[in-house]
Structure 1
Amino acid sequence: MLTDLVLSVEGTEFAATLALILALCSALAHAVLGTLQKSRYDPWEARGAIDAFVFVMALMAGLFILPWPEPEIIPILFGVWAIHLFYKSLQALAYERGAFTVVYPVARGTAPICTVIFASIAFGEHFEPGQWLGVAMLSGGIMSLSVVNLRGRAVSLQSETMLTALGLALLTGVMIAVYTTYDAWGIRQSADPFTFIAWFFVADGWSFPLIAWLRRRRRAEADRLPLRPLMWRGLAGALIAFVSFGCVMLATRLDKVGEAVALRETSVIFAALLGWLVLREPLGPARAGLMALIALGAAMVELAS
């Protein structure tokens, strides 16, 4: 039923509207997912717990609910596994070496510009000058959050550890653009987008839990954090990940990849609002100003097309 809906609107004017809604849903889900990863747990373990539940649930859906992927999709899924494993490894290394609130904006701010460039090469997408300005405002606003978040911390941007973390964050941002472009190409090759999404999660979800388990085993018993809270966090993260990644992949099938990604990266606005409204975290004039810049940039990407 959902497959028929997606296929029926492809190529219509409503496709762009649906893609916009899906991208914003992905942004909200991504903000919640990012908050879950801001935890006392090792970033490898936190991601491994999420992926373990993602793998099991996607495998059940793939085996018992959805059709098997077409034979020509199998090699694409191997590419999914390799690209996403590299991306998540870079991300975990960056989180190990730098504060989440400093590293995360650099990675997410790098992604939109790189994705627009990659999508123009892969799909022949064309951005108007006003859209390029919007992307620059969006990316600049997101990356500037790292400077604002660094204030009051004991570490400076010039420290060796922070420079390493920022370098890894930049590479992570490039890999976000790589996997977004590759996934958009992959889902467009499949007759059933939901079959691709399910087997995408199967291909992507099995390796990181194994890495996390091996890392946990090497630790002394006293250094291991409780497993039960980690599992609950993993279950919640998995459910949110289906929405976050699934919605943006559907959006990139229905409309321009660059526009979908620009809207998805407004997740930092949702994250800041959630922190302010729910966790009572201070927003401040500098952060509020950057939120406005990011929102204006995203609006320009949509309206200047």
Structure 2
Amino acid sequence: MSLFVFFAVLGAALLHAGWNAIIKTGGNKQTTMMIFTVWQGLIGLLALMWFPLPTPEVWPWLIASGVIHMFYQLFLAYAYEQGDLSRVYPISRGSAPLIVLVVGAVLLDDIVTPVEYLGVAVLGLGIVTMASGAFSSGENRKLIPYALGAACATAGYTLVDGIGARINGNPFAYVGWILFMSGIFFIPAAFALKGWSVAVAPWAVWRRGIIPAGASLAAYAIVVWAMTQAPIALVAALRETSILFAVLIGWLAFGEKMNVTKALAALLIVCGVILTRI
């Protein structure tokens, strides 16, 4: 991996942690997620103008992905209502590859190597340590099921999109459709849960929503490009430094509590993810 690709992937990791930080800073997390999703959908719609419609066999995967993304966005917003960025992000981000690996081994007959088993153990220890910290520090314990719900949804759309993108044949067109479909399902769900007030925000807030949406798209585009320039496993593992970025942002920018246990848990999660992807 060249230094340029290395720093590009680090930049993508920072962008991913950054847009999560913006969601966390919003006054009403579901409103912030609504604005983010609307901008994502518009960006996806513009991108789709350059691509043909998907073939019939791709639509079930797109619809499934849209539904799963809806749950991911709802769970993530609820988690950020209950807990810190430096607590929620590592749990939701770190648990997903663990779930994918276990499900793949059980349902897809994937072969799990000894290094991956070690990664699962390290990752599991890191997640348990991070989650237990919420109990010992007096934080709202509701963040844990919401963060784990976001992780399950992440694992779900990872598996669905991996298959759907292969069937579609054009990963960039597929990503555009994902951005659009996530809005199709999330926006009605947010209205149903929160009422019309969920969309009420000053125009300045709506205008700023393009920043996390653009960061999300840029982060994924960089990673997709990097995977054409360097081994996929190395890119995927390096991308998980976003967990450390999120912890640092929460600590330095938001003044969230930091202690040895939280820092150690974050490092264990990152090391575990890397071990499961090399």
Asked if Structure 1 and Structure 2 have the same fold, meaning a TM-score greater than 0.5 normalized by the shorter chain, the answer is yes
| 1:11 paired residue number | none
| 1:237 paired residue number | 212
| 1:55 paired residue number | 41
Output the amino acid matched with 2:130: L
**Secondary structure of the residue that 1:134 maps to in structure 2?**
helix
- Within the candidate set 20, 23, 28, 1:34 is matched to 20
Kindly tell me: are residues 94 and 130 of structure 1, through their superposed partners in 2, closer, same or farther at Cα, counting changes over 3 Å?
same
Kindly tell me: are residues 100 and 281 of structure 1, through their superposed partners in 2, closer, same or farther at Cα, counting changes over 3 Å?
closer
Uncovered stretches (5+) of structure 1, i.e. residues with no partner: 1-13, 156-161
Asked whether the 8 Å contact 2:91–2:127 carries over to 1, the reply is yes
| 1:176 paired residue number | 154
Between the aligned partners of 2:176 and 2:123, the Cα distance in structure 1 is: 31
Uncovered stretches (5+) of structure 2, i.e. residues with no partner: none
Asked whether the 8 Å contact 1:108–1:142 carries over to 2, the reply is no
Percent identity reads: 27
Q: TM-score, normalised by structure 2?
A: 0.78
C-alpha displacement of 1:205? 2.1
Q: Which has the larger radius of gyration?
A: 1
C-alpha displacement of 1:204? 1.4
Between the aligned partners of 1:192 and 1:235, the Cα distance in structure 2 is: 25
| 1:166 paired residue number | 144
Asked whether the 8 Å contact 2:119–2:271 carries over to 1, the reply is yes
RMSD: 3.7
Kindly provide the CA deviation profile for residues 237-258 of structure 1, in whole angstroms up to 9, marking residues without a partner as x.
Answer: 1111213445567789999999
Asked whether the 8 Å contact 2:122–2:272 carries over to 1, the reply is yes
Asked whether the 8 Å contact 2:23–2:32 carries over to 1, the reply is yes
C-alpha displacement of 1:69? 2.4
Asked whether the 8 Å contact 2:97–2:273 carries over to 1, the reply is no
Superposition pairs for residues 285-296 of structure 1, below 5 Å?
Answer: 285-296=260-271
Q: TM-score, normalised by structure 1?
A: 0.72
| 1:99 paired residue number | 83
Asked whether the 8 Å contact 1:188–1:253 carries over to 2, the reply is no
Aligned pairs, how many? Answer: 273
Between the aligned partners of 2:167 and 2:123, the Cα distance in structure 1 is: 30
**Secondary structure of the residue that 1:127 maps to in structure 2?**
coil
Greater CA drift, 241-250 or 69-78: 241-250
Between the aligned partners of 1:79 and 1:154, the Cα distance in structure 2 is: 34
- Within the candidate set 158, 163, 170, 1:185 is matched to 163
* Correspondence 1:271 to 2:256: no
Output the amino acid matched with 1:88: Q
| 1:7 paired residue number | none
C-alpha displacement of 1:33? 1.7
Superposition pairs for residues 1-305 of structure 1, below 5 Å?
Answer: 26-63=12-49, 65-96=50-81, 98-101=82-85, 102-120=87-105, 124-148=109-133, 152-153=137-138, 162=141, 164-212=142-190, 215=194, 217-218=196-197, 226-246=201-221, 263-275=238-250, 283-303=258-278
Asked whether the 8 Å contact 2:131–2:144 carries over to 1, the reply is no
Asked whether the 8 Å contact 1:112–1:265 carries over to 2, the reply is no
Asked whether the 8 Å contact 1:112–1:139 carries over to 2, the reply is no
